[in-house]
Amino acid sequence: QVQVMESGGGLVQAGGSLRLSCTASGLSFDDYAMGWFRQAPGKEREGVACITWNGGSTYYTDSVKGRFTISRDNAKNTLYLQINNLKPEDTAMYYCAIRRSSGYCLASWSPGDYLYWGQGTQVTVSS
């Protein structure tokens, strides 16, 4: 059984930083690309970052480029998201997701391209 679990969220002042972590078990972690998504109240879930199976390539949605850094440690079955210079508009539930049957990312950022999801970790940024 595949299990995915995020951690590291919290309440932070604008301009601060957080590092989110995601651990996965029950699958060959390094076979799959992985992504981070977020969903704010009343809004659709949006993809913010993706990393290929070996960490060789990373992709970001435009609104987070330069502030978010996705990385992975395949030896620890762990995915990370470093978030710097947090803004109030970054407030959302952040989800870790595992790509459906692929080690590569897609430009579409469609949640349907991801098969396994965690329960999310809340990030709240105060102004």
Distance CA 26, CA 9 (A): 24
Strands 92-99 and 114-117: antiparallel
Query: Tens digit of pLDDT for each residue in 66-113?
Result: 999 999 999 999 999 999 999 999 999 999 999 998 899 988 889 999
Query: For residues 59 and 113, is the Cβ–Cβ distance under 8 A?
Result: no
pLDDT for 109 equals 87
Q: Which residues pair with 78 in a beta bridge?
A: 23, 73
pLDDT for 96 equals 98
pLDDT for 15 equals 97
User: How long a stretch of residues is the chain?
Assistant: 127
Q: Is the pLDDT of residue 116 over 90?
A: yes
pLDDT for 115 equals 95
pLDDT for 36 equals 98
Query: For residues 78 and 25, is the Cβ–Cβ distance under 8 A?
Result: no
Taking only Cα atoms into account, the Rg of the chain, rounded to an integer number of angstroms, comes to 13
Residue 32 makes CB contacts below 8 A (sequence gap 6+) with 53, 98, 99, 102, 103
Query: For residues 3 and 25, is the Cβ–Cβ distance under 8 A?
Result: yes
